[in-house]
Amino acid sequence: MEGPDGLGRRIKAERIRRGWSLARLADASGVSRAMISKIERGESNPTAVVVGKLSAALELTMTALLSPAEGTRDRVRRAADTPHWTDPGTGYLRRQISTPGFPADVTEIVLPAGARVAMPAGTYAFIAQLIWVLDGELTLAEGPAAHRLTSGDTYELGEPQAREFINDTARECRYVVVVTRKATP
């Protein structure tokens, strides 16, 4: 995937398309104006938590912010051409499996051993999401509840709430996230 400046350009383009100031996006996302400005200038590679907050505020999936805007409609995409992004704080890796024109976002996640990634409730406000563990173990914490998923297990996320994806094992966990956009009232 392109560097943090590509992500920054997409965030800025979405903000401007809406006619939003930096202050408005900061208020809507809970991310400081200074941080958003650094991201937009390509001076900072945000963590997954920050990308989640910005995507929720802009009502876009994380995929929409992290994937190049222009996509191919080729039916075959080689592994070397698959867009990916790594959280600089945790090493959490997102590989975008589906292309931008496909009706669902399909993303492979690699969560390193010992890593934890928290996502705010707003990240789930306008999407339906399914988690499918391919390899390893994943603990999905939702408030006081924790769901331990192992290879082959799936979990359909319910109502929007803060969640934490935890790999408390000694080996990486690979899982697939399938996202569809919910109809807006």
Question: pLDDT tens digit string along 27-46?
Answer: 999 999 999 999 999 888 88
For 60-81, the DSSP string reads --HHHHHS-SS----S---GGG
Estimate to the nearest angstrom the gap between the alpha carbon of 134 and the chain centroid: 18
C-alpha 64/C-alpha 110 separation (Å) is 19
What would be the CATH architecture of the domain defined by 4-66?
Answer: Orthogonal Bundle (1.10)
C-alpha 164/C-alpha 129 separation (Å) is 14
Q: Which pLDDT belongs to residue 1? A: 43
C-alpha 59/C-alpha 73 separation (Å) is 24
- Give me the amino acid identity at 133: V
Beta strands in the chain (DSSP E): 84-86, 93-96, 105-111, 116-119, 127-135, 137-142, 145-150, 154-156, 163-166, 173-181
Q: Which pLDDT belongs to residue 147? A: 97
Of the candidates 109, 99, 144, 101, the one whose C-alpha atom is nearest the C-alpha of residue 129 is 109
Of the candidates 159, 125, 126, 154, the one whose C-alpha atom is nearest the C-alpha of residue 142 is 159
Q: Which pLDDT belongs to residue 68? A: 60
Q: Which pLDDT belongs to residue 164? A: 95
Collapsed DSSP state (helix, strand, coil) of residue 90:
coil
In the predicted model, residues of the chain with pLDDT beneath 70 are 1-5, 67-74, 183-185
Q: Which pLDDT belongs to residue 20? A: 94
CATH fold of the domain at 81-181: Jelly Rolls (2.60.120)
Of the candidates 180, 178, 121, the one whose C-alpha atom is nearest the C-alpha of residue 155 is 178
Domain with CATH 2.60.120.10 in the chain: 81-181
CA distances from 77 to 16, 73, 94 (A): 31, 9, 16
Q: Which pLDDT belongs to residue 138? A: 98
Q: Which pLDDT belongs to residue 121? A: 84
Domain with CATH 1.10.260.40 in the chain: 4-66
